[in-house]
A and B are shown apart, each in its own frame.
Chain A
Amino acid sequence: MISAFFIFNQKGEVLISRLYRTDLKRSIADVFRIQVVSNSDVRSPIITLGSTSFFHVRINNLYIVAVTKCNANAALVFEFCYRFISIAKSYFGKVDEEAVKNNFVLIYELIDEIIDFGYPQNSETDTLKTYITTESIVSANIAAEESSKITTQATGSTNWRRGDVKYKKNEAFVDVVETVNLSMSAKGTVLRADVDGHILMRAYLSGTPECKFGLNDKLVIDKNERGGGDAVELDDCRFHQCVRLDEFDSTRTISFVPPDGEFELMRYRSTSNVKLPLRVIPTVNEIGTSAVSYAITVKTNFNNKLSATNVVVRIPTPLNTTNVDCKVPIGKAKYVPAENVVVWKIPRIQGGQEVTFQGHASLTSTTNRQVWARPPIDVDFQVLMFTSSGLIVRFLKVFEKSNYHSVKWVRYLTKASGSYQIRPYENRRST
């Protein structure tokens, strides 16, 4: 299991260092600094030297590092690093060098609590916050009963929720957020299209509410057994640990006692009948070796009551581009030489609308032929009240012994960020 936990900044300075086992010395940190931080070509998140393995995850300007001397469960180690990051976010908003330095004592307290002898322990933020706080606690003042409540919760079967939560108004917000990934060939063939869905919930509910949640899904186990209807085919779904998996397995109902506040209830994946909100039709012509002309059309593919917002189209240009002349009907397009792209930003496109970018890139003649990978065109956007998978929340029922009335809200959002890609060339390498 984990022998040591470190946080490094970009310079390789140690911001947090905690050894859990005596099989390592603190100087192991220097090895990581040499092997990873000061190495410009790190090609793996895991590096094993001798019997020692370094696992690292990068976030902002930091390296979150776990070191092991055994045949560690790699998935567990990375999941733990991710969890540390999410706890840190919840405690101090952001995770960067400044935040870590400003809260280092608290971080030491946290990592003493959430790992013991290298074994991750209860790491539910909600529970942690009941006994690891930024406020000073005088030990003598904590009533033993209060502590027992905490310890019972920290080790209990619903260790993600306190029992004494009270709200005047009982509300639950459900956000269905879908990230749509696309890879499309120049001919317009969909090479792959899939949806990563997240169902986020903010539960402000008193007591110990029992929730039941329903979707218009039809979990496909066997792809050959397709059926009709408006049911959405989900390839797979994964649940927050509060969801009773055995019940889901036998009856397909999603029932749970939610944590208090915000959490990710469910994640799912869908690959069938993915509705692509934006259609991009690129026409790229190389005019000799001195220029490239672009006509990139973006078409919306949803009804005109909805609109795509924050649309950013990134159009790659050759490395020897000197200037790009851009014409756009809406939004702003600008050539960014440092990244070799034209960035076309459109604040809003209405459903049913179609807009075209016209561009002309002038190239310098170069003698050294740098390899240009001809990257795909990438589009980022958001569409509210639209799901690419067609998923709809059917119901959310809340049962609590005091039988209070609760209000539920549902929102849908489909977005793309960094992986909605259209290849502009049929054959990318120039011959």
Chain B
Amino acid sequence: MSGQGGQDAKFFTRGKIQEFRAELEAAESKDKKFTKRKTVLKKIVANITMGNDMSPLFTDVVQCLGTPLLEIKKMVYLFLVCYGRQKADQLHLVIPSFLQDCNDRNPLVRALAIRTMSYIPTPIVIESLTDQLRHCLKDRDPYVRKTAAICVAKLYTADPRKAEKGGFVEMLRDLLLDTNATVVANAVAALSEIGDRQDGVIFKLNLTVANKLLTALGESSEWGTIYILDSLLRYVPERHIDAEMMAERVIVQLNHANSAVVLTAIKVLLYLMNYMENRKLMEYICKKMGPPLVTLLSSGPEVQYVALRNILLIIQRRPSVLKNDVKVFFCKYNDPIYVKLAKLEIMYRLAREENAREVLAELQEYASEVDVDFVRKAVRSIGRLAIKVQPAADSCIQALLDLIETKVSYVVQEAVIVIKDVFRRYPGKYEGIIPTLCEHLDLLDEPESKAAVIWIIGQFANRIDNADELMDDLTYTFLEEPTEVQLALLTAAVKLFIYKASSDTTKALVHKVLKWATEEVDNPDLRDRGFMYWRMLAINPTVAGEIVLAEKPAITTDADRMDRGALDQLLLHTGTLGSIYHKNPETFIRNATGKALADSPALNPLSRQVLVPASRPNLPPPAVVVPGPGPSEPTSTGAVSGTLVQTDGESPQNGSEASVANGTNGTNEANGASAHLMSTSASQETPSNEGDDDDGMVSPPASADPYAGLDNAFGGYMADEPRPQNRNLLDMI
């Protein structure tokens, strides 16, 4: 059978309805082996595939149902699935044939009939299906029963109330106890589908049923295993021991060859761990999860990608998983770009003092590749590494300086952006490299990098001999610059003036900039900030200096980690689209249902404390969001009223104390730096990133949006972050 194929390619040519009709008529005579009919039907199916409307042939094609050839029957059924709903008025012609097949002796034919009927959800077909389906759900053949189970889900989609009134949901429930594992798995899949509908019945599992399903796991097909594992999230353990025993039975699935089984098993384990008490077992589970996750990286690149995006979430919630395995995430030269970008984020997260040297060497390697996004992210990661791992800072800075020497524009820009943060992280340590940065001013043509270097010049104007010259050059194009750069220029000009108040050039410069900002520019933020500076300088320049050049809070990378409650919730979607975009599905898929950890006596108290309830928001109608000029909205409560501080660097982990501190200090900073503060957040104390969250302190989410901190790992630089597109392009077609 294998190795030899059909010869049907010739049928892929456009045909006319009339010709096909004539051919079908001709085939009614002298067609002993039905080869003629088969040929015409193949032509028709090929034309359907090509997108040609074959529906006018409905009555002609239906005639062929009398042919006793299974192949012909399947082609006619395919035709019916395609055009049945359009030709609802003529469907009565095929009902008798369907009914006959539903009672065929051959179980394959019975199943085929109900499967096909349920694909044509019109009243007349559904009417005749319901009776048949009731029988088929109790058919003695498991193949028919497993097909019937899915038919119930289809029926429910077409007509929920009819399915409920007909008692089909109860019949599905009964199938959960079927003797055949495949039937059980499909019943689970159908019930889950119904349970996920916003208008569906609630599908929950109790311990007895959950255990029964676990028994079926051993005999299920790989897909069935996935449906069953997935449904275990509908079981809420009431006692620690229940969660622990269930996990022990799920753990064996980690050795399954199918990566979807592995990821779904991991999802169940992560879920159950929220309800456990036995720390030893939890450690054991974490240890067991690592190797299978790494093995997923030898699957195809698509599965690798899914795995990597999930690993990024998992290691934030369970830092002990994979903590010694940073090497496996090193990029191969020929990895697809999406795999490389995902690996880079994981490398950064797993970087610690012990492996920083190796990680840095890799990042340097990547910084010389050709893909611009990848290179930029690599460069930025070097700077982030300097901020995260203090002992590695020296070598990271040297690496950045080497990169600047390449004079490749986007490399230099990225380097400048991160170096600005490095200055804030290690005040008084690396300012010696400022002259090198200033030599490359002409390479900077993007707002973010320009704003960064301007901030550096303003902040350290006292150490830069020709700061006034540089500023004079930079302000030359003030009126054409984007707001981000204008804001930076304004603050830098004020700082320069405060440092060198006696100089006439700086006086003239600040006057010029303030005048522009308040008189020539339409942007209200810029104007208001201009007025504010102007008045401060007019009333008391000394105090203004103290305010503008006040000591800034140090930068840390703690905010990179996502809020625990949000993580707990997102991990309920492990392996799914939501876990790839790091977004709850209800936020980007219409009619998707949110999930939340259910409370129970067994739930870990810390998990309960940060629990994010499920929401069922209806997605607003799709709208095109155009990021306009001007500052973005504050995202957290950190902004104390009355300040102009942009708090986009805030993360909910800071807790209220840190936020307020940042807010007030930020006011002193008078917006210069915070306007381009990026992801790094200010925080007074440095909580350890190591160790499981279950041990540590958890601060309650301070912000309305627990995901605010999520995108922070690589700052505002999100060009390569995978995300669903909020446009409805589908309407264009």
Interface residues of A (CB under 8 A from B): 1, 13-17, 19-22, 26-31, 35, 43-53, 55, 57, 68-76, 78-79, 81-82, 90-93, 98-99, 101-106, 108-109, 112, 116-117, 119-124, 129, 131, 133-134, 136-140, 142, 144, 147-148, 150-152, 154-157, 159, 181, 183, 185, 191-192, 194, 196, 221-223, 235-241, 244-246, 248-249, 264, 266-267, 269, 271, 371-376, 378, 418-419, 421, 423, 427-429, 431
Please tell me if the beta carbons of B46 and A104 are within 8 angstroms of each other in the complex: yes
Please tell me if the beta carbons of A75 and B50 are within 8 angstroms of each other in the complex: no
Contact (A117, B257) CB under 8 Å given A137-B71, A144-B106, A418-B334: no
Please tell me if the beta carbons of A50 and B622 are within 8 angstroms of each other in the complex: yes
Contact (A191, B295) CB under 8 Å given A121-B223, A138-B68, A246-B252: no
Give the dominant DSSP class at A's interface: mixed
Chain B residues with CB under 8 Å of A106's CB are: 6
CB-contact partner of A71 in B218, B578, B727, under 8 A: B578
- Least CB distance from A96 to B in Å reads 11
- Docked CA distance A133–B4 (Å): 11
Known: A240-B257, A241-B258. 14 other contacts (CB 8 A): A14-B49, A46-B302, A51-B590, A75-B260, A101-B8, A105-B71, A117-B153, A121-B221, A136-B70, A138-B69, A151-B143, A155-B182, A419-B334, A427-B402
Asked if B23 is at the interface (CB within 8 A of a chain A CB), the reply is no
Chain A residues with CB under 8 Å of B182's CB are: 122, 154-156, 159
Asked if B3 is at the interface (CB within 8 A of a chain A CB), the reply is yes
Please tell me if the beta carbons of A46 and B580 are within 8 angstroms of each other in the complex: yes
Residue of B nearest to A242 (CB): B257
Chain B residues with CB under 8 Å of A101's CB are: 8-9, 12
- Docked CA distance A176–B619 (Å): 52
15 interchain pairs, CB-CB under 8 A = A31-B733, A50-B728, A70-B591, A75-B306, A78-B260, A79-B259, A82-B300, A119-B223, A148-B141, A155-B180, A155-B183, A191-B361, A221-B288, A236-B295, A373-B370
- Least CB distance from B335 to A in Å reads 9
Chain A residues with CB under 8 Å of B628's CB are: none
- Least CB distance from A188 to B in Å reads 14
- Least CB distance from B356 to A in Å reads 15
- Least CB distance from A285 to B in Å reads 19
Please tell me if the beta carbons of B589 and A71 are within 8 angstroms of each other in the complex: yes
Please tell me if the beta carbons of A192 and B327 are within 8 angstroms of each other in the complex: yes
Please tell me if the beta carbons of B728 and A239 are within 8 angstroms of each other in the complex: no
- Docked CA distance A57–B336 (Å): 13
Please tell me if the beta carbons of A48 and B724 are within 8 angstroms of each other in the complex: yes
Chain B residues with CB under 8 Å of A237's CB are: 255
- Docked CA distance A137–B72 (Å): 10
Please tell me if the beta carbons of B729 and A139 are within 8 angstroms of each other in the complex: no
Asked if B251 is at the interface (CB within 8 A of a chain A CB), the reply is yes
Within 8 A of A (CB), among B325-343: 327-328, 330, 332-334, 337-338
Please tell me if the beta carbons of A147 and B6 are within 8 angstroms of each other in the complex: no
- Docked CA distance A156–B370 (Å): 52
CB-contact partner of B330 in A148, A191, A238, A429, under 8 A: A191
Chain B interface size range: 35 or more
Number of A-B contacts (CB under 8 A): 367
Contact (A152, B142) CB under 8 Å given A102-B8, A104-B45, A373-B369: yes
- Docked CA distance A152–B144 (Å): 10
Within 8 A of A (CB), among B248-291: 251-253, 255-260, 262-264, 287-288, 291
Ranked 8 nearest A-B pairs via Cβ: A151-B143, A236-B291, A71-B585, A48-B724, A157-B219, A101-B9, A92-B5, A75-B260
Residue of A nearest to B727 (CB): A49
Q: Mark B1-41, 1 if CB is under 8 A from A, else 0.
A: 11111111101100000000000000000000100001000
Within 8 A of A (CB), among B79-102: 81-82, 85
Residue of A nearest to B403 (CB): A429
Stretch at the interface among B445-453, B495-503, B546-554, B569-577: B569-577
Asked if B303 is at the interface (CB within 8 A of a chain A CB), the reply is yes
Please tell me if the beta carbons of A49 and B729 are within 8 angstroms of each other in the complex: yes
Chain B residues with CB under 8 Å of A74's CB are: 306, 575-577, 579-580
Please tell me if the beta carbons of B255 and A239 are within 8 angstroms of each other in the complex: yes
Residue of B nearest to A89 (CB): B2
Contact (A136, B69) CB under 8 Å given A49-B729, A157-B181: yes
Please tell me if the beta carbons of A196 and B298 are within 8 angstroms of each other in the complex: yes
Chain A residues with CB under 8 Å of B8's CB are: 101-105
- Docked CA distance A108–B121 (Å): 20
Determine which residue in A26, A44, A72, A266 has the highest number of CB atoms from chain B within 10 A of its CB, and name it. A44
